[in-house]
Amino acid sequence: MKNISYLLALHSIDGLGPIRLKAIVEYFKDPKLAWEANGSEIRQLGIPQAAVDLLIETRKKLDPIEYAKSITDSGINWFTIYDDDYPKPLKDIYDPPVILYYRGELLSEDENAIAVVGTRKITGYGSTVTRQFTSGLARAGLTIVSGLAKGVDTIAHQVALDEGGRTIAILGGGLNRLFPPENLDLAKKIADGYGAVMSEFPPDYPALAGNFPARNRIISGLSKAVLVTEAASDSGSLITAKQALEQGREVFAVPGPITSYLSNGPIDLIKMGARAVTSADEILEELGVNRVQNAEFRVKSETNLSHDEKKVLDILENESLHIDEICRKLGLPASSISGYLLKMEIAGIVTSLGSGNYCKSAR
C-alpha cells in the first residue's frame, strides 16, 4: 500500500478501531486521501463525530511523514493487513488488527504457536504447572504466546527463553508505554533474537484496562491453541480462551485443587468443552506435534544421574519439598543437595518453586 505513513497517522486517532479504519481505507482507496478528506465525508461512513473532530484537530499539528519516521527511529517495525508478510493465522480472525507494531521478528516457524495464559495472582501450584507445561511445549518447538502480564504470562515467557525457545508477547498498550514496567528487561530479551513484542495500539498509547480484551483476541489469533493453567472465573485469560473457541482454536485447561478459587477458571472452561490436560505431552499429541526430541532429552538426562541424585529425584516423585527437608530425609549436606538440584534443574528434571522448594518436572 502506498502512503503508509498516512495510514499510521490515521491509526493514531482514538476511536478508529480496526473495523472503522478498514472501512475508511477501503472507501478512499488511499490513506492520504482519507487523511485529507473533509469531516462530513468521513462522517457519512458511520464514524462517530468525536473521532472525526479528533482527526481534524490532529492533522493540524501532526505531520504523517515525520510521525512514521519517529516510530522507525524508536526501533519499532510494523505489519499492515495489506502486507504479504502479515501473520497468516491472525488474518483469518473476525476483526484482525489493521496495523501490528513490533520489536524483534516473526519467523515462519512461529505459526506453530500456543498461547499460555492465566492469573496474575499465581500460586505455588500455578507456578509449578505453568513451568512444567511451558517447558514441554517449548522443547517440542512450539512458540509460546502470552501477554507479558505478571503471574502466568511472565513465567510462560521466561521458561520459553530458558528452554532456548521462541516467545511472542502481546501488549495491552503501546510499545513505548510497556506495562508492567518490571517486565521491561524481559521484553528486551524477547525482542533480542528470541521472538517479538507486539501491539495493535500506537506506540505511545497507554495500557488502559479496556484494551486487554482486544489484546486477548490477538493472543488467541496468533496461536493454534490456548492453554489456561490457573485462573479465577472472572480472569481475563478466560476471555482469551473463549475467543479461541470462537476462532476455531483448541483450548486446554489444567485442573487444579477444588479448594482454590483460582481453579474455577479452568473448571469452567472444561465444562464448556475445553480439554482437561495433565501434561504437555497430551497437548502435543492432540496437536500432532512430534515429542521425540523432548522425551529423548529427558531420558538421557535421567540416565546420567549419580546414585545420590537419583535418590533426590525419587523423594520428589509425588510431592514438592524444601531443600532442608530433602537434606534431612537423605542425611546429606546442603552443599551437595543444592549442587544436585542445580544440575537437575538445568536438565529440566526438577523445577524450582522458589524459596528453596523443589518438585519433579512433568514428563
- Specify the CATH architecture of the domain 108-290: 3-Layer(aba) Sandwich (3.40)
Residues 6+ apart with CB under 8 A from 338: 323
Nearest to 322 by CA among 355, 345, 347: 355
pLDDT of residue 129: 93
**CATH fold label, 293-360:** Arc Repressor Mutant, subunit A (1.10.10)
With cell 541424585, the residue in question is: 309
- Each of the 363 residues of the chain gets a pLDDT tens digit; together they read 689 999 999 999 988 888 899 999 999 999 999 999 998 999 999 999 999 999 999 999 999 999 999 999 999 999 999 998 899 889 888 889 999 999 999 998 999 999 999 999 999 899 999 999 999 999 999 999 999 999 999 999 999 999 999 999 999 999 999 999 999 999 999 999 999 999 999 999 998 888 888 899 999 999 999 999 999 998 888 889 988 888 889 999 999 888 899 999 999 999 988 999 999 999 999 998 865 444 444 444 566 788 899 999 999 988 889 999 999 999 999 989 988 988 888 777 888 887 888 888 765
Residue 41 contacts by C-beta under 8 Å, 6 or more apart in sequence?
none
- Please provide residue 170's backbone torsions phi and psi, each rounded to the nearest 5 degrees: -110, 125
Distant-in-sequence, close-in-space partners of 6: CB < 8 Å, separation ≥ 6: 30, 31, 32, 34, 35, 64
User: According to the model, what pLDDT value does residue 298 have?
Assistant: 47
Q: Is there a contact between 225 and 112 (Cβ–Cβ < 8 Å)?
A: no
pTM of the model: 0.80
Nearest-CA neighbor of 102 among 25, 22, 190, 186? 190
Q: Are 210 and 181 in contact (CB under 8 A)?
A: no
Are the CB atoms for 325 and 357 separated by under 8 Å? Answer: no
